[in-house]
Amino acid sequence: MISTLLQITCTGYTNKLIMKHIYKFFAIALISISINAEYKLGKDYRMIDNPIQVRQDGIVEVTEAFWYGCNHCYSFEPFINNWEAGLDNGVKLEKMPITWGGIHQLHAALYYTIESLKLDPSTHSAVFVTIHKEGNFLQNQKAIESFLEKFGVAPEVTSQYMSSFGVRQKVNRSIKYGKQVKVTGVPMMIVDGTYIIESKGSFGDMLKVIDHVVNLQRPNS
């Protein structure tokens, strides 16, 4: 009798122990599935119809399509700058100004002029502040010359760079790139010339999706 009771008790304890491990296994499995399924192709990011060829050097290229005159891009600027500051050597961020119309192409030329003059990166942030906080839209070359003069660039030098072959070539490259990728809104992120992440929720969520896609593109991932 006692032996039977002990057997029943032990069996019940063993069953509880087994069930506990089963529940634990399924909980871990569900968490794993949830993490893996958190971001999905076609929902959180999409593939470019005609991907851009990138260098096969083991470095994941992330490109931000933006416009100085875009309020969302202005708000996104500190987020993407902080994200860039935390990147390892396996990821590289490039910025590409959009070139939809005349004002966009003018601002694209401004971006590449700042880049060509090797001005401090904070100059780009100053452009955003000038447009969105000071109300100076920098809508013609004279306004741009006056703006860059504050950073020690003579107006004639700005004019020379804005119309230079190098800057015009970069603007034309952006026009071609934008058409191939089909940039319809900004800020827009392109990973390895293949995947697009658009701003749908918070900027924090957008950066998480970017991290997810970047990790997918890392060699041996």
Whether residue 63 is found in the same domain as residue 115: yes
pLDDT at 12: 52
For the whole model, what pTM was predicted?
0.82
Whether residue 91 is found in the same domain as residue 51: yes
Q: Please give the Cα distance from 86 to 38 (Å, whole number).
A: 22
Whether residue 26 is found in the same domain as residue 132: no
2 or 146: which carries more pLDDT confidence?
146
pLDDT at 56: 76
- Confidence bin at 16 (pLDDT 50/70/90): low
Whether residue 51 is found in the same domain as residue 30: no
The tens digit of pLDDT for each residue in 123-149 reads 999 999 999 999 999 999 999 999 999
What radius of gyration, in Å, describes the C-alpha atoms of the chain? 26
pLDDT at 110: 98
Whether residue 5 is found in the same domain as residue 101: no
pLDDT at 38: 86
Question: Which residues, other chains included, contact 19 with Cβ-Cβ below 8 Å and sequence gap of 6+?
Answer: none
Which residues on adjacent β-strands are paired with residue 195? 47, 191
The tens digit of pLDDT for each residue in 169-195 reads 999 999 999 999 999 999 999 999 999
HSE-CB for 82 with a 13 A CA cutoff:
8
List the CATH number of the domain containing 106: 3.40.30.10
Q: Please give the Cα distance from 221 to 218 (Å, whole number).
A: 5
Phi, psi for 132 (deg, rounded to 5): -90, -25
Whether residue 33 is found in the same domain as residue 118: no
Looking at the 3D structure of the chain, how many domains does it have?
A: 2
The tens digit of pLDDT for each residue in 39-66 reads 999 999 999 999 998 887 899 999 999 9
Whether residue 104 is found in the same domain as residue 161: yes
Given a contact cutoff of 8 angstroms between Cβ atoms, the answer to whether 178 and 90 are in contact is no
pLDDT at 185: 95
Which of 21-30, 40-49, 89-98, 200-209 is predicted least confidently?
21-30
The tens digit of pLDDT for each residue in 86-132 reads 999 999 999 999 999 999 999 999 999 999 999 999 999 999 999 99
Whether residue 185 is found in the same domain as residue 104: yes
- Confidence bin at 215 (pLDDT 50/70/90): very high
Whether residue 33 is found in the same domain as residue 93: no
Q: Domain range for residue 195?
A: 46-217
pLDDT at 200: 86
How buried is 128 (Cβ within 10 angstroms: 0-12 exposed, 13-18 middle, 19+ buried)? buried
CA distances to 11, 22, 37 from 25, in Å: 21, 5, 18
Whether residue 73 is found in the same domain as residue 31: no
Whether residue 179 is found in the same domain as residue 88: yes
Shortest CA distance to 186 belongs to which of 108, 121, 92, 91?
Answer: 108
pLDDT at 14: 47
Whether residue 3 is found in the same domain as residue 71: no
pLDDT at 18: 46
